[in-house]
């Protein structure tokens, strides 16, 4: 029978366990005293691959404490990626052994797929780890200038009109939000603790979502044009808020100036930017949607204009003040049939961003990829820094906190499961934790912590609807689904990754699909906001801001059950214990020694209900809520007082 999680050996890619140097890395692994004979009597070795052949380094005991023995090994880093895992022998002919890799412990041989990774290429910008992202869909956030000309393609709507969430009118329903409106409400972002503003595309287009750009040379006049974009970036920077733009490298709109030239002249440079099967009207398009012709990245001229070099759209955006780019449909970019240039594109974008930063002396930019499923192969090396973590965060959290909402008014089945042809399931915490561990073991720690954790986005149903908050497309002020929504919020703020809040989540907005979720922000209906949800967002974002372990700490699972998830966030400066309960059950008991607490005090409550301590154990409350505790150490400074959430 496998030992409980709190009794299993542990290592991760955080500063608590890994110190990467030029040409080598110092690795630390904790072997609890309860593992095998004892942590100190175990034998620990590091297995890495050198030229595809296993190489071994024996670890040595660094120190022993009440929780176990800390083993240390220093290994060389060779090539772009060094894969490694630990072999832990429990001693004697009958003792056996354990493998420890990024997916956990195994009492049998395993493949290399989930080995820990050391990446030789420069990592994501250091500032990314401390950020809280706020996502804005510009047409639906706020109107800053009244009386703007209505675009020729648009169908105007009143700010309180219901959102058209299906059919051909949905992408042209124009509410008239603009960039000056966003700038006018930056105080709301500041209050929420947001440090990055991510906006969906702002280039001129023929829809409200603007993923069908007609040019990359100017900001849409319907949003206020280039001048409004400049004002917004400057205003955000004045408040210490970074700005990330949204760029589609996979396709353009059918009205794009490049595509018009390509259709007009088969011998033009632009004709090589697209995949023409039969010029001028037969061409490849995103998902076969002819209004979105697909870009052919075999064209060096396309690369030069769009993302490779000083004259590119990517470089120009950074020189205009952007702090990073989110790449739309990154998983499909550069891929068509047997053609696969995705990594080449990602590498060129990242190189351009690094060059611009070096020339200007600015901080390096953040390169974030949209990817809806397994992004493993796209995240190793010198490409995207991270991804929108649908696969490793959104999907498992939805499955654990699904409240059974329906797919829409009058529809009796549940919400679709993020692109899968099934309804959102209901899974136990054990299965959810297994998903989180498996996905991120494959991604690697560095990519995981540079990825964004979303409860929802402009492309999905609202999380409040998933948790049971209704399908009416407005604020769930009555609080249906609120309890589970706030459990998801706690997971978002306490698991690794960069939290990303879609504007309106903090009010309790609902929606049954991506179009429905793009609800205009109800600035003039503040009495309708769900005040309890907003207060919870203010509290949890402040907790993340105030505690470095939540931003930069490792992740050590202690206990997972169908109705609860319990884990440590560990950093050299502090250790925090997180206990999130979905269903009432018996108290979770963790030995004091496993928490390193013997003789060093008890957990101090930061959020939720205080635990009980008896018989050498901490008994964590079975109350459905998110409970957060700081773990004192001998001589540690007094922890801050509990925060009401």
Q: Determine what percent of the chain is predicted with pLDDT higher than 90.
A: 85
- Going by pLDDT thresholds of 50, 70 and 90, the confidence category of residue 33 is confident
Mean pLDDT computed over every residue of the chain: 93
- Cβ neighbours of 161 (radius 10 Å): 11
| Rounded average pLDDT over 202-224 | 98
By three-state DSSP, how is residue 571 classified? strand
Q: Which residues contact 337 (CB under 8 A, 6 or more apart)?
A: none
Bridging pattern class, strands 339-340 and 335-336:
antiparallel
By three-state DSSP, how is residue 619 classified? strand
- Going by pLDDT thresholds of 50, 70 and 90, the confidence category of residue 408 is confident
| Rounded average pLDDT over 159-177 | 96
- With 0.75 as the threshold, say if the pTM is over it: yes
What is the distance between the alpha carbons of residues 266 and 439, in angstroms, rounded to a whole number? 44
Q: Is the pLDDT of residue 55 over 70?
A: yes
Residues paired with 81 in a beta bridge: 119
pLDDT tens column, 310-349: 999 999 999 999 999 999 999 999 999 999 999 999 999 9
Kindly state the DSSP code that residue 7 receives in the 8-state scheme.
G
Token pair for 74: 């220093």
**Per-residue pLDDT, 410:** 64
Q: Is the pLDDT of residue 638 over 60?
A: no
- Going by pLDDT thresholds of 50, 70 and 90, the confidence category of residue 477 is confident
- Going by pLDDT thresholds of 50, 70 and 90, the confidence category of residue 411 is low
**Per-residue pLDDT, 35:** 64
By three-state DSSP, how is residue 148 classified? coil
Q: Is the pLDDT of residue 639 over 50?
A: no
pLDDT tens column, 534-548: 999 999 999 999 999
Q: Is the pLDDT of residue 298 over 70?
A: yes
**Per-residue pLDDT, 41:** 67
**Per-residue pLDDT, 3:** 86
pLDDT tens column, 80-106: 899 999 999 876 556 678 999 999 999
Q: Is the pLDDT of residue 293 over 90?
A: yes
pLDDT tens column, 557-583: 999 999 999 999 999 999 999 999 999
**Per-residue pLDDT, 518:** 97
| Rounded average pLDDT over 255-262 | 98
Least confidently predicted of 26-40, 112-126, 472-486: 26-40
**Per-residue pLDDT, 514:** 95
- Give the residue from 292, 645, 296 showing the smallest Cα distance to 485: 645
Higher per-residue pLDDT: 227 or 408: 227
Q: Is the pLDDT of residue 644 over 70?
A: no
What is the distance between the alpha carbons of residues 432 and 7, in angstroms, rounded to a whole number? 20
| Rounded average pLDDT over 52-70 | 94
Alpha carbon dihedral 446, 308, 355, 498, in 10-degree steps, equals -30
Q: Is the pLDDT of residue 470 over 70?
A: yes
Q: Is the pLDDT of residue 168 over 90?
A: yes
**Per-residue pLDDT, 634:** 40
What is the distance between the alpha carbons of residues 249 and 3, in angstroms, rounded to a whole number? 48
* Three-class secondary structure assignment of 413-480: CECEECCEEEECCCCCHHHHHHHHHHHHHHHCHHHHHCCEEECCCCCCCCHHHHCCCCCCCCECCCCC
Q: Is the pLDDT of residue 236 over 80?
A: yes
Higher per-residue pLDDT: 401 or 42: 401
Backbone angles phi, psi at 65, to 5 degrees: -135, -170
503 alpha-carbon distance from chain centroid:
16
Q: Is the pLDDT of residue 109 over 80?
A: yes
Helix-strand-coil percent breakdown of the chain, rounded to 5? 30, 25, 45
């Amino acid at each position: 029978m496998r030992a409980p999680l709190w009794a299993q050996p542990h290592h991760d890619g955080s500063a608590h366990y890994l110190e990467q140097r030029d040409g080598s890395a110092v690795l630390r692994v904790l072997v609890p005293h309860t593992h095998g004979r004892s942590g100190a009597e175990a034998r620990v070795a590091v297995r890495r691959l050198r030229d595809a052949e296993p190489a071994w380094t024996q670890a040595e005991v660094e120190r022993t404490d009440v929780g176990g023995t800390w083993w240390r090994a220093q290994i060389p880093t060779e090539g772009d990626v060094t894969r490694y895992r630990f072999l832990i022998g429990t001693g004697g002919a009958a003792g056996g052994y354990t493998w420890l890799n990024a997916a956990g412990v195994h009492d049998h041989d395993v493949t290399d797929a989930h080995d820990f990774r050391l990446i030789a290429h420069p990592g994501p910008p250091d500032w990314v780890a401390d950020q809280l992202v706020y996502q804005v869909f510009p047409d639906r956030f706020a109107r800053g200038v009244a009386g703007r000309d209505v675009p020729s393609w648009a169908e105007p709507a009143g700010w309180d009109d219901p959102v058209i969430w299906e059919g051909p009118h949905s992408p042209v329903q124009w509410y008239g939000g603009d960039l000056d409106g966003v700038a006018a409400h930056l105080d709301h972002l500041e209050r929420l603790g947001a440090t990055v503003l991510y906006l969906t595309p702002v280039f001129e287009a023929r829809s409200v979502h603007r993923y069908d750009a007609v040019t990359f040379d100017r900001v849409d006049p319907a949003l206020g044009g280039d001048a409004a974009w400049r004002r917004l970036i400057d205003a955000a920077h004045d408040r210490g808020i970074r700005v990330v733009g949204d760029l589609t490298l996979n396709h353009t709109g059918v009205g794009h100036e490049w595509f018009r030239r390509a259709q007009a002249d088969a011998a033009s440079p632009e004709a090589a930017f697209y995949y023409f099967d039969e010029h001028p009207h037969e061409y490849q398009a995103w998902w076969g949607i002819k209004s979105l012709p697909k870009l052919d990245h075999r064209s060096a001229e396309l690369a030069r204009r769009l993302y490779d070099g000083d004259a590119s759209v990517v470089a120009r955006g950074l020189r205009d003040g952007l702090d990073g780019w989110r790449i739309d449909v990154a998983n499909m970019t550069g891929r068509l049939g047997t053609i696969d240039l995705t990594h080449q594109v990602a590498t060129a974008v990242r190189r351009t961003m690094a060059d611009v930063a070096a020339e200007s002396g600015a901080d390096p930019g953040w390169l974030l990829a949209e990817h809806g499923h397994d992004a493993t192969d796209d995240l190793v090396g010198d490409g995207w820094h991270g991804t929108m973590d649908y696969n490793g965060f959104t999907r498992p959290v939805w499955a654990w906190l699904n409240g059974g909402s329906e797919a829409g008014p009058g529809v009796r089945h549940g919400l679709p499961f993020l692109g899968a042809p099934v309804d959102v399931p209901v899974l136990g915490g054990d299965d959810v934790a297994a998903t989180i561990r498996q996905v991120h073991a494959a991604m690697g720690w560095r990519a995981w912590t540079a990825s964004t954790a979303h409860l929802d986005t402009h492309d999905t149903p609202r999380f409040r609807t998933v948790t049971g908050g209704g399908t009416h497309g407005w604020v769930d002020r009555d609080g249906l689904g609120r309890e589970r929504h706030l459990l998801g919020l706690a997971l978002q703020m306490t698991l690794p990754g960069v939290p990303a809040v879609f504007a309106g989540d903090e009010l309790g907005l609902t929606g049954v699909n991506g179009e429905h979720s793009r609800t205009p922000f109800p600035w003039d209906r503040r009495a309708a906001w769900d005040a309890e949800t907003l207060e919870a967002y203010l509290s949890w974002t402040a907790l993340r801001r105030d505690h470095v372990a939540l931003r930069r700490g490792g992740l050590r699972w202690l206990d997972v059950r169908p109705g609860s998830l319990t884990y440590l966030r560990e950093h050299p400066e502090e250790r925090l214990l997180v206990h999130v309960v979905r269903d009432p059950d018996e108290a979770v008991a963790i030995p004091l020694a496993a928490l390193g607490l013997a003789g060093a005090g008890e957990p101090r409550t930061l959020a939720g209900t205080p635990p009980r301590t008896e018989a050498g154990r901490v008994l964590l409350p079975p109350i459905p809520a998110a409970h957060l505790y700081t773990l004192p150490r001998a001589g540690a400074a007094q922890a801050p007082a509990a925060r009401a959430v």
